[in-house]
């Protein structure tokens, strides 16, 4: 009888978990979803928690009205929040063996959705760098979509 009760309890616990799609709007340190990346500037987004999901989708959109965009997007991760949001931080790095989200994106005004694997670290942020021909009015929007068990 105890085994039956325990099995029923386990089934109820598993059934009570549901998959949830968590969408995170990545913002700049000022809280805006429009992240300006002028010319060859390096911009660090505000940090965000990474849920228990191992994989997710990084969605990004780049726009420049006055010329061509040319950017690099890297996901950096850490075990703690950065000392100062929007600044370089030695604790935030691209995990070894991981590649850039995108290198030299030059096609604008299109949403891109890329499956991405996250290291098992609790925090992330993006490092966005304008490459040589990046226009001064380039703006980037990034969203993260993760399916997790709740």
Instruction: Domain count for the chain, please give it.
Output: 1
The CATH number of residue 55's host domain is 2.60.120.680
**pLDDT value for 15:** 45
The contacts of residue 24 (CB under 8 Å, 6+ apart) are 48, 143, 144, 145, 146
What is the full per-residue pLDDT of the chain (150 aa) written as tens digits? Answer: 555 444 444 444 444 444 555 677 788 888 888 999 999 999 999 998 887 666 788 999 999 888 888 999 999 999 999 999 999 999 999 888 888 888 877 777 889 888 887 888 889 999 999 998 889 999 999 998 876 554
Residue 56 is assigned to a structural domain of this protein: yes
Residue 144 is assigned to a structural domain of this protein: yes
Residue 121 is assigned to a structural domain of this protein: yes
Residue 85 is assigned to a structural domain of this protein: yes
Going from the C-alpha of 55 to that of each of 21, 31, 33, 80, 116, the distances in angstroms are 12, 25, 22, 20, 6
Residue 22 is assigned to a structural domain of this protein: no
Q: What is the DSSP letter of 149?
A: E
User: What are the percentages of helix, strand and coil residues in the chain, rounded to 5?
Assistant: 10, 40, 50
* pTM for the predicted model, two decimal places: 0.81
Residue 128 is assigned to a structural domain of this protein: yes
Residue 16 is assigned to a structural domain of this protein: no
- Which residue segment(s) compose the domain that 106 sits in? 28-149
Residue 74 is assigned to a structural domain of this protein: yes
């Amino acid at each position: 009888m105890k085994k039956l009760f325990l099995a029923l309890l386990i089934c109820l616990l598993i059934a009570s978990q549901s998959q949830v799609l968590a969408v995170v709007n990545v913002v700049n340190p000022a809280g805006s979803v429009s992240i300006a990346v002028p010319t060859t500037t390096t911009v660090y987004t505000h940090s965000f928690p990474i849920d228990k999901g191992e994989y997710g989708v990084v969605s990004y959109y780049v726009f420049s009205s006055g010329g061509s965009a040319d950017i690099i997007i890297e996901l950096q991760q850490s075990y703690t929040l950065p000392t100062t949001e929007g600044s370089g931080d030695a604790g935030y790095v691209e995990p070894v063996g991981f590649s850039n989200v995108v290198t030299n994106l030059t096609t604008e005004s299109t949403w891109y959705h890329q499956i991405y694997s996250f290291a098992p670290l609790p925090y992330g942020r993006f490092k966005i760098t304008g490459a040589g021909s990046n226009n001064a009015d380039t703006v980037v929007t990034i969203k993260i979509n993760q399916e997790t068990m709740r």
